[in-house]
Amino acid sequence: MRRCCQGVGLPCLFKGVGMAGPRPPRFLLVFDFDETIVDENSDDSVVRGRALPEQLRQSPQGGYNEHMRRVLAFLGEQGVRPAELRAAYESIPLAPGMAELFQLLSKHQELFELVLISDANTFGVEAKLRAAGARSLFRKVFSNPASPDRRGVLTLGPYHSHKCLRCPANMCKAKILAEYLAERAREDVEFQRVLYVGDGANDFCPAGTLRAADVVFPRKGYPMHRLIQECQEKQPGVFQATVVPWESAVEVARYLQEMLRKKC
């Protein structure tokens, strides 16, 4: 019988021998949240029907993250507590076909690693994913930090700082994705393909960094889709990833099923 030498303070000579772990996932599937997983902008959803002062009803001056920090602070001052906001996030409808896509992914968790990168906030994103029964599908959620303070007011912060001129000051999704891929590579996990599902202008930045083997799923007619089309027209060949527009996430599910069928 083998004896592990760690018990006497020595490195185990049998580490990795006959103890192969599960195979790493082949595909990284990245999701946006607002108007991608859910069918609305979650910031709009939580303020709908609430009376805001004129300065908060106008178009944001400066960064949108800072604007929402002020909005949430005002709501807190008016007595709106996190439990009420959580219920608002939980009630946001999923985008068409998203439940079916999650069902497919739940059956193939050994093949797909899921992460979410969103310029919303962790409080709302986590609340909705749990309400939808989908939180366990995601290995990581990257979003602006939000949590109740000692007064019971939901506070919001920026995700990070960066030097990208295209993205809002609080978040560059390309930087987050690049850092995540580097982290997983250090853990000896490298993906055959990166698959990106999104809708917004801030999803165009990370999508533009992907390779020809990768696939981008822009929501049809939304800013990400329009920016990709403009790039393809003005700079042919610059945008490398395969582009698969969708109106229902069932179309994304069908593409993934066909991809698995072909074993590519």
For the annotated binding site for substrate, the residues are 43, 119
**Strand, helix or coil at 181?**
helix
Total residues found in the chain within this entry: 264
**Which of 32, 44, 149, 214 does the annotation list as catalytic?**
32
Encoded tokens for 183: 């982290």
Whole-angstrom distance, CA of residue 134 vs CA of residue 92: 14
Known binding site for Mg(2+): residues?
A: 32, 34, 199
* Active site (annotated) includes residue 32: yes
Q: Is 79 exposed, middle or buried (0-12, 13-18, 19+ CB in 10 A)?
A: exposed
Whole-angstrom distance, CA of residue 42 vs CA of residue 189: 33
Helix (H) or strand (E) holding 231: helix 223-234
Whole-angstrom distance, CA of residue 26 vs CA of residue 88: 36
Whole-angstrom distance, CA of residue 53 vs CA of residue 71: 9
Helices vs strands, H then E, count in the chain:
10, 8
Known binding site: residues?
A: 32, 34, 43, 119, 199
Here the contacts of 98-104 (C-beta below 8 Å, separation 24 or greater) are 98/37, 98/38, 98/249, 99/132, 100/249, 100/250, 100/253, 101/249, 101/250, 101/252, 101/253, 102/132, 102/133, 102/134, 102/137, 104/253, 104/256, 104/257
**Which of 34, 39, 188, 214 does the annotation list as catalytic?**
34
Q: Which has the closest alpha carbon to 148: 174, 122, 125, 167?
A: 122
Do residues 148 and 169 make contact, with C-beta atoms less than 8 angstroms apart? no
* Tally of CB atoms within 10 A around 36: 24
Question: Catalytic residue positions?
Answer: 32, 34
